[in-house]
Structure 1
Amino acid sequence: MLTLNYLPERILYRISKVHFTIKRANCDISNPVYIQDNSRNGTFVNGERVDMNKSRILQNDDVISLCHPMNKAFVFKDLCPNETMGLPKEITTTYYISRKLGSGACGLVRLVFDIRTCNQFAMKIVKKNLLSDTRVINRHKPSNSNDQEKVLNEANIMKSLSHPCVIKMHDIIDKPDSVYMVLEFMKGGDLLNRIVSNKNLNEQISKLFFFQMCHAVKYLHDKGISHRDLKPDNVLLESSNEETLLKVSDFGLSKLVQNDSVMKTLCGTPLYVAPEVLITGGRGAYTKKVDIWSLGVVLFTCLSGTLPFSDDYGSPVSEQIKHGRFRFNHPSWRKVSQRATALIKEILIVDPKKRPTIDDVLKSSWLKDNEMLRKAKALMKLEVMDIAEDEENFLQPPKKRARR
């Protein structure tokens, strides 16, 4: 709704026949209202010019001026429910707050739009006062110590990352009660929903997704970062296409570690957590090999649509994980190659010292697949040299041993 202000007659001749247009996408009240300039002499919102034939988002009480910032003609009134209540001004003056995308232990995720560029993002709101209620347990510090350091851990890590398979942070606003992280918006949802909606993924798609996840983990490990909460929920898909780019997300349980150091915080999602974490109850020492274990569980879930470890299998899930007891009983395994099941067996080894590194996993025979590599190269937009090195490692035939 627009309310009209009086304009002097002397400027009316400068106004175009269709000076600007206003519309709401798909007439959906959860979508923002856009104003597009169609004039020769300019349209202004709150004194800022809208580029010709470009759009920006209108918010409640925005002032629209014609031809000059001082020629205030309209005030926009948004009669839809207000989603900005309680949010800091730094957020509401930059972003239009749209629908809820999801929620987690520390807060929720909302779809937001940059008001000036109209680009979409996902804004993760982490409530600092909820940290003590999460599953992240640190037995070496009081539960209420260094809350700000804990909650900013994810943000500080993500700001420094740049990889096609790792979610990129666009903006961060730190306030006394919450941290607001503005991240890439992935329209394809998460991997868990993709698996559930399809019951399971065929082997070629599972391989394509697994390869991308491994590249993300290698990038993190090479930088001394362990994710520590790898699961299908934290793997986001770029589109609804069957073959799509994926990105590893949610670094709330990550920690920067130096070479040869260990992590002593009990964390991770129980169904995907490595046995050494459960065995020590978080009081022992464990390394980045916990991510390798989680990758194995995710691969198992992709291929079969089931979990390797579950309370539904008769014994407590923690005992199954500690002893590495799992089976390929589901009928879907009849269509899966022996190379795939062999890789899972190699990964889900209880002793982390015997568990492969991420480099070992990437060199597995199951990933020696020309077609998959070409598709991954296109999706990840890797440089020729990046993929060439992988192909050389994967596809070069083994050298014959010299006879003695």
Structure 2
Amino acid sequence: MARENCPDTQGATQSQASNLWTQLESQPIENVVWGRLYGKNIKVKTLGTRVKHKILITNSSPPYVDLCHEKFAAGRGEGNDLVLTLKELPEKMLCRISKVHFQIRRENCDLSKPVYIQDFSRNGTFVNGELIGTNKCRILQNDDIIALSHPNCQAFVFKDSNLNEGQDLPKEITSSYYVSKKLGFGACGIVRLVYDRRTCIKYAMKHVMKNMLAESTKVNNLNDPERVMNEAKIMKALAHPCVIKMHDIVDKPDSVYMVLEFMKGGDLLKRITTKKRLNDHISKLFFYQMCHAVKYLHDKGITHRDLKPDNVLLESADEETLLKVSDFGLSKFVQKNSVMRTLCGTPQYVAPEVLLTQGRGAYTKKVDIWSLGVVLFTCLSGTLPFHDDYGSPAIDQIKKGKFKFSHPAWKTVSQRAKSLITDMLTVDPNTRPSIDYVLGHSWLRDQIVISKAKALMKIDPLGDVSDDENFLEPPQKRAKR
């Protein structure tokens, strides 16, 4: 589109601008101004007579449209907010414009939400030279250029009233993702909600700062670069319906950004605290999925080492929903029969062998079984089996394996569930059961729950291993409690 088609805004007088404002001030504005479209290489001198939104014409800047309604449409049709005619476009260009060429929207005019542009045209709408595609959407960001019917026919420049939180992030992130609100904070960094600009799919982006301290500080450093990249290496190699999948990773000298599946149902801890406790059916449904995730990891030679409700994410707010195990920041690849010697994990969920040796001893993937026992205890009762409020330090309770089913909630819990918890919370890791034994326990042999879990996990029952084959070892003998 030729440059001479630009409007001569220098000829607009202050009185013209004043008269236009007077006309528009009488029109109610329903919402805050959340964005602005500037004309670029397009005649828009008559825009004010057709558009529902405020336009300001000054001597020093080109005309623009303030976007203050949830949706804004442009095209040849009379029903559009901006009707394009021969006054705005030359005939050879106008004939390529559709009735509704594109629509821009921001949900509820909420500045915390992304701005979408949807292409309704036959000949294409382009953003920064890239075709959106008929009936497809993408996310607009500040200074994006919108072209009509051809990438060179640049018509508008979009300005966002909200410079989102990603403005200080690397270009590799901001060019691909719209960075939205913070979802939470952890020991390893900040988690934000992000949107893929081209697909509009939501993700959770974990931003972890690399610690630049001396090598000698790495042992107890949660942000150690080697440890951070270990998490990325593990997650990129995993593919299971109950394990969080990594979508993308950007590694920078001072930080690493991991783009992960977004689970809108929140974490298991929030679900438990909201409900006070989970009933037998839901606890079993969630626990069954967790066990399948852990079995997958153990079969891959991976020990999670930080299993807890905070690190279990739910797909939706539905009572019966898919869950995924996340946060492999404390995980490590281990070969068969090898041991791990690093003291890590969350105290209330950590196995006694880790505490007894202060991280200097040998411990195996049986630490995950202990953590699963604590998680199941918490699901069913809404309480922790080990806590400083119980008379002695929680660490001492864990080392001795001392816990009680004393909360009133346990009166409605089956003996089989208590038996499974007791088996998993065995102090001696050599007699503590494996994940295969846990999956084969009588409490989990509930066909209704198994069918629902497999449907959520999208596992074909006919192609899956029979649960009868989970009895790979006899129950372990243990001292009377």
- The TM-score with structure 1 as length reference comes to 0.93
More moved, 44-53 vs 9-18: 9-18
Unaligned runs of 5+ in 1: 133-137, 395-404
Letter in 2 for 1:63: I
Letter in 1 for 2:460: E
CA drift at 1:31: 1.2
Q: Name the SS of the counterpart of 1:179 in structure 2.
A: strand
Of residues 354, 359, 369, the one that matches 1:282 is: 359
1:51-96 CA-to-partner distances (Å, cap 9, x unmatched) read 0111100000000001111111000000114311321100000000
* Aligned CA distance change for structure 1 residues 235 and 363 (closer, same or farther; 3 Å): same
More moved, 22-31 vs 91-100: 22-31
* Aligned CA distance change for structure 1 residues 131 and 297 (closer, same or farther; 3 Å): farther
Q: Does 1:16 align with 2:16?
A: no
Name the structure 2 match of 1:176. 253
* Inter-partner Cα distance in structure 2 for 1:364 and 1:320: 26
1:299-322 CA-to-partner distances (Å, cap 9, x unmatched) read 000000000000111100100000
CA contact (8 A) 1:253 1:267 kept: yes
Which residues in structure 2 correspond to 1:161-172 (within 5 Å)?
161-172=238-249
Name the structure 1 match of 2:123. 41
Of residues 98, 119, 122, the one that matches 2:180 is: 98
* Aligned CA distance change for structure 1 residues 140 and 87 (closer, same or farther; 3 Å): closer
Which residues in structure 2 correspond to 1:112-123 (within 5 Å)?
112-123=194-205
Letter in 2 for 1:285: A
More moved, 257-266 vs 82-91: 82-91
Choose 1 or 2 for highest CA Rg. 2
Of residues 20, 24, 40, the one that matches 1:5 is: 40
Q: Does 1:251 align with 2:328?
A: yes
Which residues in structure 2 correspond to 1:177-196 (within 5 Å)?
177-196=254-273
Name the structure 2 match of 1:352. 429
Letter in 1 for 2:387: S
* Inter-partner Cα distance in structure 2 for 1:83 and 1:288: 39
* Inter-partner Cα distance in structure 2 for 1:383 and 1:321: 39
Name the structure 2 match of 1:361. 438
Q: Does 1:390 align with 2:472?
A: no
CA contact (8 A) 1:188 1:237 kept: yes
Q: Name the SS of the counterpart of 1:85 in structure 2.
A: helix
1:75-118 CA-to-partner distances (Å, cap 9, x unmatched) read 00001143113211000000000111111112110111100011
Unaligned runs of 5+ in 2: 1-35, 43-88, 472-481
Identity of aligned residues (%): 70
CA contact (8 A) 2:210 2:228 kept: yes
CA drift at 1:154: 0.6
* Inter-partner Cα distance in structure 2 for 1:64 and 1:147: 43
Name the structure 2 match of 1:82. 164
* Inter-partner Cα distance in structure 2 for 1:298 and 1:216: 14
CA drift at 1:41: 1.4
CA contact (8 A) 2:231 2:329 kept: yes
* Inter-partner Cα distance in structure 1 for 2:230 and 2:320: 32
CA drift at 1:199: 0.1
Higher relative contact order (CA 8 A, sep 6+): 1
**Residues matched between the structures, number:** 389
CA drift at 1:40: 1.6
Q: Name the SS of the counterpart of 1:84 in structure 2.
A: helix
1:14-60 CA-to-partner distances (Å, cap 9, x unmatched) read 22232110001233221110001111211000000110111100000
CA drift at 1:143: 5.8
